[in-house]
Amino acid sequence: MRYAVLVYENEADFKERSDPKTMGPYMAAYGAYSAALHEAGVGVGGAGLQPPSTATTLRVRDGRRHVQDGPFADTKERIGGFFLIDVPSLDVALEWAAKCPAASRCGVEVRPELPPPPK
């Protein structure tokens, strides 16, 4: 079963990962985590995302585009990336989620993939 491990980060985390002085170890931890997922054969995808300040929100209403600078919702915790993993159960997914560096900082959210629609 596939699960997304959504990486949540707060303002301090985003600052740390973009500051040249601190970004090295920060990104190295994620690189190592990603490598561990793939070595174990459970990592199937994922991506890191640029900070929320780079986000553009778009809504189409009555055929008109409403474009807005910034992320969708104004919250302290923002998605900074995600990992897609393929594991037998939620328990195993949580085992791996606990190893994600964000888990011991801001937090991670684990969500199962929507099953394909019945044919």
Partner 1 sequence: MDEPNESSRVIEHAARTSYGRLVAFLARRTRDIAAAEDALADAFAAALRTWPTSGVPERPEAWLLAAAGNRLLDQQRRADTARRHGPDLASATAPREPDPMESAATSLLGMPDERLHMLFACAHPAIDAAMHTPLMLQAVLGLEANKIAAAFIVSPTAMAQRLVRAKGKIRDAGISFDLPPREQLGERLDAVLDAIYAAFGSGWDDVAGADAASRGLADEAVFLGRMLVDLMPDQPEPLGLLALMLYCQARRAARAAGTGFTPLDQQDASRWSRPLLAEAESLLRRASEQRQFGRFQIEAAIQSAHVDGALRGQTDWPAIVRLYDGLLAIAPTLGAAVGRAAAIAEAQGPSAGLSALDAIDAHASLHADMATYQPAWALRAHLLAMLGASDAAARAYERAIGLCEDDSVRRFLLGRLAAVQSTS
Q: For partner 1, give the closer residue by CB, 39 or 74.
A: 39
Contact by Cβ (8 Å): 116, 9: no
Question: Looking at 10, 14, 29, 107, which residue binds partner 1 (CB under 8 A)?
Answer: 29
Strand stretches in the chain, DSSP E: 2-9, 43-48, 56-61, 64-69, 78-86, 107-112
Contact between 12 and partner 1 per CB under 8 A: no
Contact by Cβ (8 Å): 29, 62: no
Contact between 35 and partner 1 per CB under 8 A: yes
Question: Looking at 46, 81, 101, 106, which residue binds partner 1 (CB under 8 A)?
Answer: 101
> Going residue by residue from 61 to 90, which x/- string records binding to partner 1, judged by CB under 8 A?
-----------------------------x
If you search the block for the tokens 């606990």, which residue do you land on?
98
Shortest reach from residue 118's CB to partner 1, in Å:
25
By the 10 Å C-beta count (0-12 exposed, 13-18 middle, 19+ buried), 3 is classed as: buried
Residues of the shown chain interacting with partner 1 in the complex, contacts defined by CB under 8 A: 24-25, 28-29, 31-37, 39-40, 90-91, 94-95, 97-99, 101, 103-105
